[in-house]
Amino acid sequence: MSRFFSDKYKKLVPYTPGEQPKDTEYIKLNTNESPFPPSEKAIKYATEEAGRLNLYPDPECRALTQKIADLLGVDFDEVLVTNGSDEILNFAFMAFCDEKNPAVFPDLTYGFYSVFAQLNGIAYEEIPLRDDFTININDYFGAKKTIFIANPNAPTGIALTVSEVEEILKANPDNVVVIDEAYVDFGNESCVKLIHKYDNLLVTQTFSKSRSMAGARLGFGVGCKEIIQDLNTIKYSTNPYNINKMTMAAGVGVLEDEEYTLVNCKEIIKNREFTTSELEKLGFNVTDSTTNFVFASHPDIDGEKLYQMLKERGILVRHFNNPRISQYNRITVGTREQMEKLIDAIKSILEGI
């Protein structure tokens, strides 16, 4: 730390991204990326745009925003495109939390929520999940706080139904409820349709998972136009050109290739079911995930030890140093071939203990 670092950030503990090692060709199942390449249209449009990088990108992201709005059946001014969904989540903390409206979220959820709260000097409450890692929606009724819920939740993979989310919205009419749908495309119903019924709802989604564009950094938020206006005030006060030209073009390309996304999601769901059933046969406890990852623990092997032994065998999964989930690993669902290699490696590890 330099002697110039502002006092307000001295205690800030930054988010720790999953490892991105360069040394070996790992089977990378640790950051919930897609194993499939970006759509060919996305690559083509981004490549064409590379020749125009001398110009600033469109700050309104008109073409891409309209495409997202059309896909979701909402209006142009009900969508805001951001640099990954991390950015819209940060904007939401900035826009909708303060001393009167602290934040609230589950104790086990996306690790960035607490970092964004700290970054913005916002007090926050963490509500414990039940023992089976489900959310008790009653805990969020009349919260008098800005609510952040990843749905499905991470790293557990477990989802609330749309009607459960609706109950939370109804029970908090004077607070914003942010529903983070980063993993919605792997077999869940979206809450986007509720934005016309509830003016306190912000839904966020990402192109990083189902659309194979984690490296492009593209996400968005959907809400009533006043909510989107507030978020635009934050955006134009921080970085009006938050989406670069190549990413914007790639986003348009992948949305013109929706079939490609749907086929890939189906394949991931199939591979998730395969992985879950193979892990269960080996004695694992696996949560009921509707995402592109599984969350699993085994009674006979310590979670961190399994993570390390898999790493030694060239397979990276994600282990969290949180006592409540220290026996678990979060394993991204990749191709069938990758998952077969994972299962083989786990079999040989279990045979050796």
Binding site for ligand PMP (CB under 6 A): 84-86, 110, 150, 154, 180, 182, 206, 208, 214, 219
Pairing, β 146-150 against β 177-180? parallel
Q: How far is the CB of 272 from ligand PMP (least distance, A)?
A: 16
Q: Which of 317/346 has CB closer to ligand PMP?
A: 317
Q: How far is the CB of 202 from ligand PMP (least distance, A)?
A: 13
Q: Which of 183/301 has CB closer to ligand PMP?
A: 183
Q: How far is the CB of 340 from ligand PMP (least distance, A)?
A: 25
Q: Which of 85/271 has CB closer to ligand PMP?
A: 85
Q: Which of 175/210 has CB closer to ligand PMP?
A: 210
Q: How far is the CB of 112 from ligand PMP (least distance, A)?
A: 7
Q: Which of 135/301 has CB closer to ligand PMP?
A: 135
Nearest residue relative to ligand PMP (C-beta): 84
Q: How far is the CB of 118 from ligand PMP (least distance, A)?
A: 17
